[in-house]
Chain A
Amino acid sequence: MFFIAPWVIGFVAFTAGPMAASLYYSFTDFNVLQPPIWVGASNYMHLVTDDEYFFQALNNTLYMVVVGIPATQVFAFITALLLNVKVKGIPAYRTLYFLPAIMPEVPITLIWAWIFNPQLGPVNAAISALGLVPPLWLSGPTWAKPTLILLGIWQVGTTTAIYLAGLQGVPQEMYEAAMIDGAGPLARLRQITIPLTSPVIAFNTIVGIIFFFQYFTQAYVASSTQGGQVGGVENSLLFYAVYLYQNAFQYLKMGYASAMSWLLFLIVMAVTLLSLYGSSRWVYYEVRQR
């Protein structure tokens, strides 16, 4: 019992207690300076009916989830496949591929903003040189989020590492048996590699979903490079966590922000449970689990 004590205290003080408290606050109007005033469900009603920023924020965040997850997972998986081959110097490649993921988000986002600077950056220089119209990247509403997705792809190192470990757990005999049966590389991928790494795919996907629903730092820093308007040009970078932060710490609408946080919790719960259910359907386990 003594060994567990730190975690239990932490759980009550920093998890369970706050969750109950934020549920309570979500039904109040609370600006910290005065005690909370009970307003019933009006925070929730206002969020869902009256608040255009809410839907923008939700939209932007869902974009990151729906576009970002496939993009990052596919890239990470392919990269892991690449890193799994027997080529001279693979350790050097691995070192390089994993490196960006360890970098701190703040300066990395700054570098990204600089590389994708529409007027001065190398990316647009290359695009112009090819005779195409250079996009505005972070400075415009259309390409702001894709720029961040590209950043997410650049930082897939940890995901790739997990996929690599999963790939190395696939027994070599299965590939050999398949090759004897005449299976080509694509068939081997579909019939052996993917099913046998599906638990890892499920894990990475769920972790990724949770990550993108809370996307904050890169968005905040990226919009700070565009003249400091939190939320970016035309609110294209206004993500859910960013809007929540604004409501809580800039507008001091703690009750409203609490309502937002509980809605987020429910959404993430639902998506996670859906994913877990989905994964129990098509994830293949070597040892039958429950």
Chain B
Amino acid sequence: MSDEAIDVPRVGRWPKTKPIAARRSRAVLKQAGLHLVLLVVAAYFAFPFFWLVTSSLKDATQIFVFPPVLWPNPIKWINYPVAFEEMHFAHYLVNTLTVTVPSVVGTLISSAMPAYAFSRLNWPGRDLVFVLVLGTMMLPFAVTMIPVYLLFHALGWIGTYLPLIVPHFFGGAFFIFLLRQFFLSIPIEISEAAEIDGANELRIFLQMIIPLSRPVIATTVLLSFIWTYNEFLQPLIYLTNDSMYTLALGIVTFVGSNIQKWELLMAAAVMYCVPNIVLYFFAQKHFIKGIATTGMKS
């Protein structure tokens, strides 16, 4: 949306340089104004990170002052090892990964398969069932939470990791949608050529479609990892033994027993967020594309 005005020819002379200069300075002013607004909003987004990190490096004496100090002095790097130890970070991280990694694998396999069926296979009722899949995304979790819990209770799985992992092997509506949209964009000729060569659907799926789908698979792995990593309610209801807690539960327990040690809590929070930040910077494109695609195609 530039300011390039359309030159309307006018009868008579007028100085050529002045309007251009005026236009340029207006453009510069506009750019400056936009930068200002962007910076103000950026401050809102950035400040919590700033406060998080500086608080995590403060000494306890600098936490309990009002008004608060802006910058830690001395910088207590030691808060991190202390928090790491006291909240059993390593242990909980391992627990969290024990849940997250199989979940991601399960999600990928069990979402790609239906996505293939909804996009590259033709069968009666296909689109109707797909609408049903989408419909499940609108279901409030609470409606199925209790009976699912009771199901796991009957199976004796409460207090294990199974209720957190197994459901991921049965398809995730969001990822089915995401993968289907991508599969739809692969030219039909690819499947047809393979069919002529005598391949059945499974082979086409595994040997042709999947290798072509690296970007969307990357997005799926990324997003499902992050979402499982961030999960709170599920571990809360299914994990009874605090040695099995995931990081999410671990940090809340840590809060309970260390309510005043804000510098340690903030250090714990930073460590918790590290995987998210790292993954984000590595794969920002995939995040944005994945999220944007779902919004657009809906």
Considering only residues 162-205 of chain A, those with a C-beta below 8 Å from chain B are 162-166, 169, 175, 180, 185, 199-200, 203-204
- Binary flags per residue of B30-67, CB closer than 8 Å to A gives 1, else 0: 01001101100110111111011001000000011111
A148 at the interface (CB under 8 A from B): no
Known: A95-B284, A200-B296, A210-B138. Contact between A111 and B42, CB under 8 A? Answer: no
Query: What A residues does B121 contact at CB under 8 A?
Result: 3
- Binary flags per residue of A230-257, CB closer than 8 Å to B gives 1, else 0: 0000000000110011001100001001
Q: Kindly provide the distance from the CB of B232 to the nearest chain A CB, expressed in whole angstroms.
A: 4
B216 at the interface (CB under 8 A from A): no
Question: Quick check: which of A40-48, A66-74, A79-87, A135-143 contacts chain B, the rest being far away?
Answer: A79-87
- Binary flags per residue of A246-273, CB closer than 8 Å to B gives 1, else 0: 0011000010011011101100100010
Complex Cα distance, B232 from A241, in Å, reads: 13
Interface size of B by CB at 8 A reads 98
Complex Cα distance, B146 from A264, in Å, reads: 13
A214 at the interface (CB under 8 A from B): yes
The reply to whether B138 and A272 contact each other, CB–CB distance below 8 Å, is: yes
Query: What B residues does A214 contact at CB under 8 A?
Result: 140-142
Query: What B residues does A120 contact at CB under 8 A?
Result: 63-66, 68, 262
Complex Cα distance, B292 from A19, in Å, reads: 31
B contacts with A: majority SS: helix
Query: What B residues does A228 contact at CB under 8 A?
Result: 256
The reply to whether A264 and B143 contact each other, CB–CB distance below 8 Å, is: yes
Known: A111-B269, A114-B55, A254-B150. Contact between A200 and B45, CB under 8 A? Answer: no
| With A19-B144, A257-B146 already in contact, 15 other A-B pairs whose C-beta atoms are closer than 8 Å | A6-B114, A10-B171, A14-B167, A15-B144, A18-B143, A21-B150, A97-B41, A107-B251, A107-B272, A110-B265, A125-B66, A162-B291, A164-B292, A210-B138, A248-B146
Q: Could you list some 25 contacts between A and B, CB below 8 A?
A: A3-B201, A6-B109, A7-B114, A15-B144, A18-B144, A18-B146, A19-B139, A22-B143, A22-B144, A32-B150, A32-B153, A87-B35, A87-B38, A96-B45, A102-B226, A104-B273, A104-B276, A120-B262, A125-B67, A166-B295, A200-B295, A210-B140, A214-B141, A221-B255, A265-B139
A residues adjacent to B (C-beta < 8 A): 1-7, 9-11, 13-15, 17-19, 21-22, 25, 32, 79, 82, 85-88, 93-100, 102-108, 110-112, 114-115, 117, 119-122, 125, 128-129, 154, 158, 161-166, 169, 175, 180, 185, 199-200, 203-204, 206, 210, 213-214, 216-217, 220-221, 224-225, 227-228, 240-241, 244-245, 248-249, 254, 257-258, 260-262, 264-265, 268, 272
